[in-house]
Amino acid sequence: MMKRLPIIFLAILLSACVHSNAGQTTADTVPDYAPEPLIISNEHKKAFRLGTNLLVNHHYRKQKLSAIAGDIHLDYLQALDPSHIYFLQSDIDEFKHYGDALLQANKGDLSALLAIYQRYSERANALNRWSLERLSRPFDLSGDSTITYPEAKAGKKQPWPADAAVAQAEQEKRIEDQLIRLRVSGKSEEKALKLLRSRYTGALRRLNQITMNDVFDIYMNVVSSRFDPHSNYLSPRTNEDFNINMRLSLEGIGAILASEEDRVTIRELVPGGPAYKSGKLSVKDQIIGIAQGNDGEFVDVTGWRLDKVVDLIRGKKGTLVRLLIDPVDAAKGMREITLERDEVKLEEQAAQSTIEEVSEDGVIRRIGVIKLPSFYMDFEGAQQEKSDYRSTSRDVERLLKEFRDAKVDGVVVDLRGNGGGSLYEAVKTVGLFIDKGPVVIVSDAKGGVRSETDDDEGTAYDGPLAVLIDRYAASASEIFAAAIQDYGRGLIIGSNSFGKGTVQTIVNLNDFVVNNTPNLGAMKFTISMFHRVNGSSTQFRGVSPDIRLPALFSADEVGEQAEEYALPWKSITAVKIKPAGRITDSTLGTLRQLHETRMLGKPELRRYQEYVDKVLEKNRQRTWPLNLQTRKNEHADWKKYQDDYEAAQRKDVPLLNADKKSQKEIEERNAVVEDEDEKESFVPDVALFETLHIFFDYLQLLNPQAAADAA
């Protein structure tokens, strides 16, 4: 679903370091680490040539290295120093003569990328040492100064420090902010300082363990990411350690991670895994520290290589791992969570259902809701021709039969958080709701086009339908929602989907060389794009809902539009379909008006909209006071607001059957959590609540006689 950033990409970076001279500290306050010698090998040269040839000749985006050479140079500097902390402006000026480094590298000369990295290493060693020395002196956290962090997309436009004095002034603020964040999260001054010292000491140690392979990984991934965010170089270690689809699944908690700048970020939660079931983690949350068991000491993993973080999180089923989380929702504040490692079971990823009743003006509607976490298939069971193998289409068909037996008035398919999965199963599942016909078009890098079609006549369910999506619905989910929308088969409700409409392949570089050549790694690159049956790609734009619900994240924060160098939207020739034609503009206009009236008129919905607006505002905050008491007060005020909001919603929003199930799961998790601060609070699912009322309105428009009979 989401962008998989490279294993080593940005792994050694630590954003809170400043320029200084190494001589400002002493040997007894700062550990002495000797850097590894960096030597360019023939294998690096071969891997670069083969990898870039694959990108240039076979990637969906056609571009020559000469056209992006200048961009690659700037991106490499940005990858090494994304916050513009390490390099001085004089370094940047000096590096300008390396602007054609990409073209030289393609000829076998990798000296430019090594020279730039060595300057980075020199600066970073000195700066981390300065930071450790600074942590040995007291801080005044009672002043009135502030710190401002730039927008992520504005990072390249930030000026580079003119000299060490300018950088040190900013560093003072960054360290103070780090201390304050840790203190506000509940850490004592002693523990916060200890954690930061460990962070900078670890950064020094890791920095001096970097090999030429690591440097090569960084540069190769800068090059591949310039083609699109889903194309990566996979180092020999990565190619050996992880399975062929490179999902980077973490054994034990079921999360897919990536490195973003100096932070380990959650890119996806695997349905059925401990992280997903806990309800405590979200996509884009950042893992700051990891501890083992109930009382193990936290290890700060800021700036760590991703494979090393994987090693800390992996463990035996039944054991505990504790994570220090900096959430994507800034309003939640830094927090510690405990997870029990477990296996991800297919049945826990499977479609689940509830039947909900909505009553208005004496009319009661029974609505079947199918929660679909992913488009899954037991490939092994299917290959062995087992009669009971699990798949999305099989499970959904069974649930639809149960709904028919229960005589529901309509069906809602909930795709929120569904990151995709099997294209085959997405097409098969669409086929349950439409008569046969094309579902999705695939265009390849050479201009070829093919259609993926549902060839089965008839439907498993022909009644009223709605699909609920959000910003985390991606890939196969977008194919499903788009087909339902284009056929006019059902309502699409929620927020705009992710916009990931591309297909990747993985090619081992050793396939092009003699057998005795050392492992050169592999390239993952984009070869195809998905298009709706109307020809419009789901890439970049995603699927727009017919009726919008409040969304906690905007397009420039989460989704393909937030990714640099994402492939643009594209349209091709539409294919002929036989639309159901059930959703008219007049119907949508009426439903939107009723929805807007309800959002303004019902206290629980007004409160929900206000909460979403406040969270969005908090997430956009870039300037923070560097006063500990002020920050504690702000944190306390926000926590009180959240507590009051949740209590009011629990009082005013009638519980759905899905809510009751969620509430029971939360109670079961809380029963084994000792720390009160770690316990989850239950909040009714307002988005599903309003979706059901929108669907109720739709059912009434389809069958107005029901309302008349009730009256």
Of the candidates 500, 528, 662, 685, the residue annotated as catalytic is: 500
Q: Is 45 a catalytic residue?
A: no
Catalytic (active site) residue 500:
yes
The rounded distance, in Å, linking the Cα atoms of 245 and 247 is 6
Catalytic residue, from 470, 486, 685, 697: name it.
Answer: 486
Q: Which residues pair with 377 in a beta bridge?
A: 391
Cα–Cα distance, 265 to 117 (Å, whole number): 24
The DSSP output letter for 663 is H
Element (H or E) spanning 544, and its range?
none
Provide the sign of the torsion angle of the four alpha carbons 156, 162, 165, 169, taken in this order: negative
Other beta carbons within 10 angstroms of residue 362's beta carbon come to: 9
Return the closest-CA partner of residue 650 out of 689, 614, 613: 689
- What does the alpha-carbon distance between residue 338 and residue 341 come to, in Å, rounded to a whole number? 10
Are β-strands 522-531 and 320-326 bridged in parallel, bridged antiparallel, or unpaired? unpaired
Distance, in Å, from the CA atom of 620 to the CA atom of 553, rounded to the nearest integer, reads 10
Beta carbons of 491 and 518 less than 8 angstroms apart: no
Cα–Cα dist 80/215, whole Å: 10
> Of the candidates 249, 279, 252, which has an alpha carbon nearest to the alpha carbon of residue 267?
249
CA nearest 529: which of 503, 563, 506, 490? 503
Q: Residue 524 catalytic?
A: no
Helices (H), 341-496: 346-349, 379-383, 392-406, 423-430, 476-486
List 225, 475, 495, 537, catalytic entry:
475
Contacts of residue 14, defined as CB under 8 A and 6 or more positions apart, other chains included, come to 124, 128, 199, 200, 203, 262, 302, 303
Q: Which of 488, 637, 500, 494 is nearest to 563 (CA)?
A: 500
Q: Residue 257 pairs with which residues in a beta bridge?
A: 266
Q: Which long-range contacts (CB under 8 A, 24 or more apart) does 350-355 make?
A: 350/376, 350/390, 350/395, 351/392, 351/395, 351/396, 351/399, 353/399, 353/402, 353/403, 354/656, 354/657, 354/658, 354/661, 355/403, 355/406, 355/408, 355/657
- In the 8-state DSSP scheme, what is residue 297? P
Tell the residue number behind the tokens 């916009």, with chain if given: 499
What is the spatial distance between Cα 454 and Cα 329, in angstroms, rounded to a whole number?
Answer: 40
Residue in this structure with the two tokens 């397009």, named with its chain if needed? 555
Our CA dihedral for 632, 613, 615, 253, rounded to 10 degrees, sits at 160
Specify burial of residue 644 (Cβ count, 10 A radius: 0-12, 13-18, 19+).
Answer: exposed
d(CA 506, CA 244): 8
Q: Report the catalytic residues.
A: 475, 486, 500
